[in-house]
Chain A
Amino acid sequence: DSGVTQTPKHLITATGQRVTLRCSPRSGDLSVYWYQQSLDQGLQFLIQYYNGEERAKGNILERFSAQQFPDLHSELNLSSLELGDSALYFCASSATSGRGSEAFFGQGTRLTVV
């Protein structure tokens, strides 16, 4: 158990809909990352938050947005969903102190858009 909790584990929704994925980081970790992983692909970095503020942005679509709340949990909002958005979405957290940024991953949310 990594200590990172993601909900829901599975999500099936129709095209055009909007969903929210939730992530609770490890206790004490200030940094949260969101990644997308399509079938048999590597991890595509979407966005990073650190202590409530956006720190880095990757290839995140304009239809997607995220935020980190004062209690450090994070939400990833996906809107106007398309079939191609079907993927595993992972959240990871790290302490981001010092030179090591070891990330601990949740078990992911499998999103299926039909």
Chain B
Amino acid sequence: TQLLEQSPQFLSIQEGENLTVYCNSSSVFSSLQWYRQEPGEGPVLLVTVVTGGEVKKLKRLTFQFGDARKDSSLHITAAQPGDTGLYLCAGAQGAQKLVFGQGTRLTINP
């Protein structure tokens, strides 16, 4: 059973377009993180959201935690080829266990 569902699984868009990636669950998480992974490398932490309804911005990336702390979204404005990668969301549950979604593979075409 996949506790965190990410959608879409694959997304290929043109440079300059906007996009949103979703991370959904029926479970409540104490915090939620977004990671970006490039081929052959380990995931790198982008952001952590903790409070329901919280919005965090990282340059052209906007992260939102759902009010009920069950879901999150990542919005990228004016996507660039350098944004290409696998985006993973992860929710923290009791005993500090991290649960990862399957990821969204994003390709930005020049």
Contacts and interface: CB of A to CB of B under 8 A. Distances in A.
Interface of A: 2, 4, 31, 33, 35, 40-43, 45, 48, 50, 55-56, 88, 90, 92, 94, 96, 99-108, 110
Contacts, number: 73
B108 interface: no
Given A45-B98, A100-B31, A107-B42, A40 B105 contact: yes
Given A43-B100, A105-B42, A107-B41, 12 more contacts: A2-B42, A33-B98, A42-B100, A50-B95, A55-B95, A55-B96, A96-B96, A100-B31, A100-B92, A107-B42, A108-B40, A108-B41
B33 A102 contact: yes
What are the 10 A-B residue pairs with the smallest beta carbon separation, nearest first? A105-B42, A42-B102, A96-B96, A101-B92, A43-B100, A42-B103, A56-B97, A101-B96, A99-B30, A100-B31
Interface stretch (B44-52, B58-66, B70-78): B44-52
Interface of B: 30-31, 33, 35, 40-45, 48, 50, 88, 90, 92, 95-103, 105
Contacts of A88: 40
